[in-house]
Each structure stands twice: as structure tokens, then as C-alpha cells.
């Protein structure tokens, strides 16, 4: 079978997918054409995943199809955008029918679930590498940025951290898990859930937001740097999952939560003046974000505290830190 890009994209990726009415021209022409709602802006994100760099080569194809879309939708969620269209560039060592069928199924399932449509793509031959560009829509001027946090704002997390890092540590036999825990954390590593609905509901409420792809310490670090502020985090408030707390010490659980990344929860800040509106919003939401600290005026300082005492991240090379996802 030839590596004709339209053959592959058309055969595996566009059939049986849900179609959006705003796609004027989809796959099959030199470019896609879409219509935008009035007074809206486009948010565009791109993420690449390379075999043996961002994922192990034995990762199931269906998981890869899900995840390459999920990581992009997570970036859209952090911007408060509604996902609309994606394009896909895939480099494959060979045309493997079974692999492509499973990969396309994973990709289609998550696209259909979040109502976004594949509108173009390219396939080439080479070492396995996946790139998705996702396009989302926001009302003009309403995208949530990293740069809006102000001293006094409350810091929230959308859900528990550390499961993806725990799954990696278990796969590398650095920690032993029960079958049930292993299955649960591997699911979180392979099939992350981008916080799409929450991200959109934070428009006009959150002063800044980011998704946790590199670990809380690094990603909250991006917010304070972009905003020119500092942050104080109460570590006992950081949500940790049952598999994590039941499998490793509190010290290591916190380390995984802070540095391992790949969790795709949202970290965001809410000004005191909008806290009431926010509490009302989450009272009716299936996601229950948790307050983990407060923005300070100490520019560039990320202060971690456990039970009132300062807490330092272990040096790189100790504990789990070096088992975190390679970047």
C-alpha cells in the first residue's frame, strides 16, 4: 500500500466520524475551510508525541489515538476554548492495518465525544511520531491566559495529580501496585480526560489557567512567571488519588504530584471578588476543583508548605523525580 496521504487519512480517519455543520471543506482538498461564529476568536494549539521520547513503543494504538487528541484539547481547555477542529500529521514506520484501525478508533472516539472534527492531515514514512493541531473557539476577548493572576487570588486544581507518574514508575518496576491500582493509573496515563467543560465555564471567572502537563511545580511556575507574582501552596490540600496514597509514602506521593506531569488537570486562579460566582458554578459541576493555595506578591517565588512547615522538592535523581516522563 502506498503512503498516499489522502488514501490513509480518508480510509482510516474520516469515515464514520461525526460531521460539524461549520466545516465547509474537510479532508480531501489542498486545505480545509471552516466558518467561524461571529465575534469569536480562534485558539490554536499543537502537540507532538514521539515514540520512545513521550511514550513507550508498546503503548496500545487506541490509547495513542486518544492521547494525542486529549493533550491538545487539554491546552484548549486551559485557554477556555471550545474544541472545534483538528488536523493530524502522523509519521509511521510502516502501514500496519491493525495499528491504524485501532489508532483511528481512539482518535475518533475522543473527537466524537467532544464534538470536534478531523479536517485535514498528512502521513509520511519514518520513526513513529504523532502531531495534532487543534482549533478551538472563544467569544472575542475571553480566552484565559497564564498572565492574569494577581496577589490574593486563590489557586485551584481540577482533580488529583500523580497517577500518570505512578503508572510510569510501575511500568518501570520502581514501585509495586495492586492489579486494581495498576489498571486505574494506567488508564489515567493512557486515556487522560481533558477538562474541556470546566475550562469553558471558567471564562470570565478565572484570572489565569494552565493544564498540568509537566507537573504542578513547573506549570504553576509558568503562571507566576507570566503573571509577575508568587504563589504559596498548602501541600496537604493537593488532591492525591487512592492508588497514590495507598501505594507510596506521602513524601513520594507529593513528589509525583508536583513533578511527574502528564495528568492534564487544570490549575487556575480565582480572584476573591469572583469566588462566590465560582462556588455557585462548581456546586452544579461534576468536577469539584480544590483550593490549594494563594497567589502572593513575591515575584517568582513558589512556596510549598506541608503542615505549616516549608517543604522542598527532593533533588533531581532522588526518589521518583528521574522516572518522570522524558521530555
Residue list for the binding site for ATP: 121-122, 146, 213
Q: Which is nearer to Mg ion, 61 or 78 (CB)?
A: 78
Q: Which is nearer to Mg ion, 78 or 177 (CB)?
A: 78
Q: Which is nearer to Mg ion, 78 or 244 (CB)?
A: 78
Nearest to 42, CA basis, from 140, 167, 111? 140
Q: How far is the CB of 210 from Mg ion (least distance, A)?
A: 6
Q: Footprint of Mg ion on residues 198-237 (CB under 5 A)?
A: 211, 213
Nearest to 123, CA basis, from 103, 143, 147, 106? 103
Which residues are CB-contacts of 34 (< 8 A; sequence separation ≥ 6)? 22, 23, 24, 84, 85, 119, 135
Which residues are CB-contacts of 227 (< 8 A; sequence separation ≥ 6)? 146, 147, 148, 149, 150, 208, 295
Nearest to 252, CA basis, from 165, 149, 150? 165
List, as residue ranges, the binding site for Mg(2+): 30, 46-47, 75, 122, 211, 214
Count other Cβ atoms within 10 Å, centred on residue 97. 10
Applying CB under 5 A, the site for Mg ion has a residue count of 3
Q: How far is the CB of 220 from Mg ion (least distance, A)?
A: 12
Nearest to 311, CA basis, from 222, 235, 259? 235
Length of the chain: 327
- Strand ranges for 62-163 from DSSP E: 82-92, 117-125, 129-139, 154-157
Q: How far is the CB of 236 from Mg ion (least distance, A)?
A: 26
CA 240/CA 161 separation, integer angstroms: 6
Q: Is 102 in the site for Mg ion (CB under 5 A)?
A: no
Q: Which is nearer to Mg ion, 75 or 263 (CB)?
A: 75
Q: Which is nearer to Mg ion, 170 or 223 (CB)?
A: 223
Q: How far is the CB of 48 from Mg ion (least distance, A)?
A: 13
Q: How far is the CB of 77 from Mg ion (least distance, A)?
A: 9
Q: How far is the CB of 255 from Mg ion (least distance, A)?
A: 21
List, as residue ranges, the binding site for substrate: 54, 262, 320
List, as residue ranges, the binding site: 30, 46-47, 54, 75, 121-122, 146, 211, 213-214, 262, 320
Nearest to 203, CA basis, from 84, 291, 79? 79
Element (H, E) at 7: helix 5-8
Q: Is 75 in the site for Mg ion (CB under 5 A)?
A: yes
Q: Which is nearer to Mg ion, 186 or 213 (CB)?
A: 213
Q: Which is nearer to Mg ion, 163 or 265 (CB)?
A: 265
CA 78/CA 195 separation, integer angstroms: 8
Stretch that binds Mg ion, among 36-44, 70-78, 82-90, 239-247 (CB under 5 A): 70-78
Q: How far is the CB of 271 from Mg ion (least distance, A)?
A: 22
Stretch that binds Mg ion, among 74-82, 226-234, 254-262, 267-275 (CB under 5 A): 74-82
CA 274/CA 324 separation, integer angstroms: 36
Contacts with Mg ion, residue ranges (CB under 5 A): 75, 211, 213
Amino acid at each position: 500500500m502506498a503512503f498516499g496521504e489522502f488514501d490513509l487519512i480518508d480510509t482510516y480517519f474520516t469515515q464514520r466520524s461525526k460531521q460539524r455543520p461549520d466545516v465547509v471543506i474537510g479532508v480531501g482538498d489542498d486545505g480545509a475551510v471552516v466558518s467561524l461564529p461571529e465575534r469569536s476568536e480562534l485558539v490554536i494549539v499543537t502537540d507532538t508525541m514521539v515514540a520512545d521520547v513521550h511514550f513507550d513503543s508498546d503503548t496500545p494504538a487506541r490509547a495513542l489515538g486518544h492521547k494525542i487528541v486529549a493533550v491538545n484539547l487539554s491546552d484548549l481547555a486551559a485557554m477556555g476554548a471550545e474544541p472545534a477542529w483538528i488536523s493530524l500529521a502522523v509519521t509511521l514506520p510502516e502501514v500496519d492495518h491493525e495499528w491504524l484501525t485501532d489508532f483511528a478508533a481512539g482518535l475518533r472516539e475522543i473527537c466524537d465525544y467532544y464534538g470536534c472534527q478531523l479536517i485535514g492531515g498528512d502521513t509520511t514514512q519514518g520513526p513513529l511520531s504523532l502531531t495534532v493541531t487543534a482549533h478551538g473557539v472563544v467569544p472575542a476577548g475571553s480566552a484565559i491566559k497564564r498572565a492574569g493572576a494577581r496577589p490574593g487570588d486563590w489557586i485551584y486544581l481540577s482533580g488529583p495529580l500523580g497517577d500518570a507518574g505512578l503508572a510510569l514508575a510501575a511500568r518501570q518496576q520502581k514501585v509495586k501496585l495492586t492489579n486494581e491500582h495498576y489498571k486505574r493509573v494506567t488508564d489515567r496515563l493512557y486515556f487522560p480526560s481533558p477538562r474541556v467543560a470546566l475550562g469553558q465555564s471558567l471564562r470570565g471567572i478565572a484570572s489565569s489557567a494552565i493544564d498540568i502537563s509537566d507537573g504542578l511545580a513547573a506549570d504553576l511556575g509558568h503562571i507566576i512567571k507570566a503573571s509577575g507574582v508568587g504563589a504559596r501552596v498548602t501541600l496537604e490540600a493537593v488532591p492525591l488519588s487512592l492508588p497514590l496514597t495507598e501505594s507510596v509514602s506521602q513524601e513520594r506521593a507529593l513528589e509525583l504530584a508536583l513533578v511527574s506531569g502528564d495528568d492534564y488537570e487544570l490549575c487556575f486562579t480565582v480572584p476573591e471578588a469572583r469566588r462566590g460566582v465560582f462556588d455557585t458554578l462548581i456546586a452544579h459541576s461534576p468536577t469539584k476543583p480544590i483550593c490549594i493555595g494563594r497567589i502572593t506578591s513575591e515575584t517568582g517565588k513558589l512556596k510549598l508548605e506541608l503542615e505549616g512547615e516549608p517543604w522542598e522538592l527532593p533533588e533531581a535523581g532522588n526518589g521518583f523525580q528521574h522516572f518522570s516522563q522524558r521530555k
